[in-house]
Amino acid sequence: MNEYGTRVAANLADVRRRIDDACRAAGRDPAEVRLLPVSKTFGADAVRAAHAAGVRVVAENKVQELQAKAAELADELPDLGWAAIGHLQTNKAKVVAQLATEFHALDNRRVAAELDKRLATAGRELDVFVQVNSSGEESKFGLEPDAVAAFADELAAFGRLRVRGLMTLAANTADTARVAGCFDTMAGLRDRLRAGGAPGSWDELSMGMSGDFELAIAHGSTCVRVGTAIFGVRPAPGGAGAR
C-alpha cells in the first residue's frame, strides 16, 4: 500500500474509534452508527485506499464526480456502493437512479418524481433521506422543519423510493450549543414523524461531519458523513492541490 493509502487506513481507524467512544459516552451501541466516508474532490486512489480498509459505500456531493469515479472503478471494485449526498437537479436524477445506492439530499417533489420514474426504468429502488435545513441559514438546502411532515406524506406516491430518514448539515459555527440545537431539532422531528405514522421507516438520522460528528452521535445520529478527517484537507477551489 502506498503512503497515502496507509494514512487513509489510519485515519479511518481513528474515526471509527472516535465513533465508538462517542457512542459509549452517549450510552449507545456503536452498531447503531454508520460511517459514510465522503471522497469528494479526491481521486480514485483515495476510494481504492478506503475500499482496501474495508469501506463498501463512499459518498459524493456532485453527481458528475460520482459518475466519473463510479465508471472508473466499476470493474475493479464491483462491491462498492455510491451515496449521493449533495443537492440534486432534476436533470441529473437519471444518473443517481442508475448508479447510487442511497440519496441523502431529497428536498422537493419534482426530484422525487423524476427519481421514481428513472428508478422504474432502471428496475431499481433507492434509499432516500429527506434533507432538512435545521440551522435556518439561507445558504443551506433542505426543507424547513415544519414542512417535512407534509412532504413525507407526498413521498408515499413514489413506490421506488425507500424513505429511510432525515439528513442535515448543522450550522457552520464554533458555537456548540447552536450546533447541538440543530441536531436536537432533527431528533425531535424524526420522533414526530414516527409517532405520526408518516410513510417510511424514519429510522435514520444522517448528520455529523468531520467537525461535529461526536456531537451528532450524542444527539442521535445514525450515519455520519466524514470527508476531511479521513481523506485530508480538500484543495481550495481553483487552488493548488493538497491532501
Ligand X SMILES: *Cc1c(COP(=O)(O)O)cnc(C)c1O
Where do contacts with ligand X occur on this chain (CB under 6 A)?
38, 40, 61, 85-86, 169, 209-211, 225-229
Amino acid 201 reads S
Number of H-type helices and E-type strands within the chain: 9, 8
Q: Please, what is the minimum distance in Å from the beta carbon of residue 92 to ligand X?
A: 15
Of 102 and 198, nearer to ligand X (C-beta) is: 102
Q: Give the shortest CB-95-to-ligand X separation in angstroms.
A: 17
Which backbone phi and psi does 144 adopt, to 5 degrees? -65, 145
- Dist. CA 129–CA 101, nearest whole Å: 12
Alpha-carbon Rg for the chain in angstroms: 17
Q: Which is nearer to ligand X, 1 or 233 (CB)?
A: 233
Minimum distance of ligand X from residue 230's CB (angstroms):
8
Cβ distance to ligand X smaller for residue 35 or 198? 35
Alpha carbon distance 78, 156 (integer Å): 32
Provide, rounded to whole angstroms, the least separation between the CB of residue 38 and ligand X: 4
Least Å from the CB of residue 126 to ligand X: 17
* Residue (40 or 48) nearer to ligand X, CB: 40
How far, in Å, CA of 47 to CA of 21, rounded? 25
Distance in angstroms (rounded) separating the CA atoms of residues 179 and 111: 28
* Residues in contact with 154: Cβ distance below 8 Å, sequence separation at least 6, in sequence order: 109, 112
* Residue 110, amino acid: R
Measured in residues, the chain has a length of 243
Closest CA to 226 of 216, 235, 218, 238: 216
| Nearest to ligand X of 193, 224 (CB atom) | 224
Q: To the nearest whole angstrom, how small is the minimum distance from the Cβ of residue 196 to ligand X?
A: 27
Closer CB to ligand X, residue 83 or residue 112? Answer: 83
